[in-house]
Structure 1
């Protein structure tokens, strides 16, 4: 949120430093208190979904929920008050989450049941990354996303193949197994085939004929054998991303060797200065005149 600016000097700036920064004790205390309140509000929603607790403490849950909603509404209003461009914050990721955190309760006044959506408040706890100085891991997260994008075509081909296998085996078992065994339609058989191929095995539907059981064994073995395919593809892309992020493709001007670390100044093989745009400081020191004191 470094692009956000306070509205003016004075009170708004002090509020901005407390709410949007985390390098001061007061800002850290505010963020930790906010996260604690968010977790408490989500816990209230979860407990309210338990029927015995709702019947016994429904009134308490109701007033707690409205207390959290009013508190978060006030907090969002203060955030917008101290900003130079409030709409810029509302269009950001955290702004949308903050808005969604209070809308369900207000919508529940006209749309019964919308109150259960307040669990989206849990997303606001993402601010813990800023509090605990974990933003450095965003780079690693971006590296994983890049690896997923590059392996998207291979993973899509793998999923398409799996869907084909599931459909074929499901159709076979539908023809082989009697309806009494639970295979009443091809979609139901597809459900069984997906559960079997992924080796989950709920057991609510299972073949009763020897041929159907043999197909089940074959599918489970295939599932174990192909589960490593997407893992291997993604792992290879992650390794490639790590190498691309760490190593440079520029060749050494002395020996032509490439794949040097980006922070390297000299070639690991021949010791040549790698940055051709700047002079080698070691060579300059060697060429400097030396005083003869003898």
Structure 2
């Protein structure tokens, strides 16, 4: 019985497992839609009760799935503290914590229901390949993040010395200048803070050029990793 349940719960190439996978994916999407609809103001009480019933049904199914996965796991503690184990747990946690309690005092916990989105990763082959690609390129990504943080600090220091005297209200310290550095290096440019001195404008030009390269680098890293992560069977 345990092996049979495992062949259904775990992703396998059989009709029952595929049907189970599709049902869970559908319930995840239903739960996300329900969560979004609950935020609509002045909902009819009948509609709200229907949404609560749907939410309860989804949580019951997710709880059964979670318990079944623990039951069939070869190393139960390892699964519980694994990425997917934690995601499955966080997906149902808010419901039980808020059970019989005024939700207004636990409103922040409802945010944890968004973790159900990550449950889709387990059932989506494309997302699985993306996860595998991120893992294979994690060293390059960490290096890129480290270099980016250094550049952000360098940009904040540079613009501080150029603009501090001209705009003390916006660039009063290096910490205040970090906001400008982030939006400039990411090429967002909200326009709420900008240089007015000649030196600051020239410095901004170079930072923008660096920012364009920063945006392109992770795209190349992830694209290369995705290409390598595709299974030979998938290519066929």
- Tell me the distance in 2 between the aligned counterparts of 1:141 and 1:190: 28
Q: Say whether the 8 Å CA contact 1:148–1:237 is kept in structure 2.
A: yes
Alignment partner, residue 70 of structure 1: 60
Partners of 1:119 and 1:167 lie apart in 2 by: 38
State the TM-score, normalized to the length of structure 2: 0.73
Superposed displacement of residue 173, structure 1: 1.8
Structure with greater proportional helix content: 2
Q: 1:61 and 1:135, CA in 2 relative to 1: closer, same or farther beyond 3 A? A: closer
CA–CA distance in 1 between the matches of 2:219 and 2:171?
Answer: 40
Q: Paired residue for 2:92, among 78, 91, 102?
A: 102
Aligned to 1:116: 111
**In the TM superposition, what whole-angstrom CA distance separates every residue of 1:251-270 from its partner, at most 9, and x where no partner exists?**
xxxxxxxxxxxxxxxxxxxx
Is residue 2:122 matched to residue 1:127?
yes
Q: 2:157 matched to which residue of 1?
A: 167
The alpha-carbon deviation at position 52 of structure 1 amounts to 4.8
Residue number in structure 1 paired with 2:208: 224
What's the offset of the Cα at 1:213? 4.8
State the partner residue of 1:252.
none
Q: Identify the residue that residue 14 of structure 2 maps to in structure 1.
A: 24
Q: Please identify the structure whose Cα radius of gyration is greater.
A: 1
Alignment correspondent of 2:187: 199
Q: Please tell me whether the aligned partners of residues 196 and 219 of structure 1 are also in contact (alpha carbons under 8 angstroms).
A: no
Q: Supply the distance in 1 between the matched residues of 2:3 and 2:213 (Cα, whole angstroms).
A: 54
Q: CA separation in 2, counterparts of 1:162 and 1:95?
A: 36
Which residues of 2 match residues 205-284 of structure 1 at below 5 A?
A: 205-206=193-194, 212-227=196-211, 229-230=213-214
CA contact (8 A) 2:153 2:181 kept: no
Are residue 156 (structure 1) and residue 146 (structure 2) matched?
Answer: yes
Q: Relative contact order: is structure 1 or structure 2 higher (C-alpha 8 Å, sep ≥ 6)? A: 2
Say whether the 8 Å CA contact 2:11–2:123 is kept in structure 1: no
**Structure 2 CA distance, aligned partners of 1:133 and 1:230?**
26
Q: Deviations over 1:95-138 (max 9, x none)?
A: 22111111111112356111231110111101223xx4875666
Aligned to 2:137: 144
Task: Give the length in aligned residue pairs.
Answer: 222
Gapped regions of structure 1 (runs ≥ 5): 1-10, 246-294
